[in-house]
Structure 1
């Protein structure tokens, strides 16, 4: 995992910009922030699952484990919502890159 979560203030805007460029570490950092409430962020397992899923699909094994772990605390509907959000993110970033 990247070191950005160790900072006193999570650089959310910077990590979103990195994620929009397909940065797998940014996906993982965002998943960690949403799953843990790092630096005062609100815990949101749907958002966390979305980001972990994006990193996992890109081959990040840590994200695969994190996604599985939080999925145990989520309903099937919440997981489906997170998966839909991940697909929407990919579509939106692919359109912007084109």
Structure 2
């Protein structure tokens, strides 16, 4: 499974726009199953983080994915995004 990890040093070195673009692309990767299995919970998580950081396209994609998710999956995705934001 393809996976990207952003360390704090890397995030600080890149511009905010580049970082949100990477987060958006991670959401797209999981949403479409590009180089990994489709995982809407993970896709929502990454779109949510990118949207919080200002990516408008991510906010649209997050809403579209959320419309087809169960309440349990949505809660799981929100919790995962919150955990990622508190540790990064």
TM over 0.5: yes
Deviations 1:25-77 (A, max 9, x none): 111010000000013x1111000000000011112110011001111110111
- Structure 1 counterpart of 2:27, from 27, 31, 35: 31
Q: Mind listing any 5+ residue stretches in structure 2 that lack a counterpart?
A: none
Mapped pair 1:79 → 2:74: yes
Structure 1: runs of 5 or more not aligned: 1-10, 94-98
TM-score (norm 1): 0.72
Match of 1:50 in 2: 45
Confirm or deny: 8 A CA contact 1:18 1:26 kept in the other structure: no
In structure 2, how many angstroms separate the alpha carbons of the residues matched to 1:61 and 1:88? 22
How far apart are 1:18 and its partner, in Å?
A: 6.6
- Partners of 2:87 and 2:6 lie apart in 1 by 13
Q: How many residues align?
A: 81
CA RMSD of aligned residues (A): 2.3
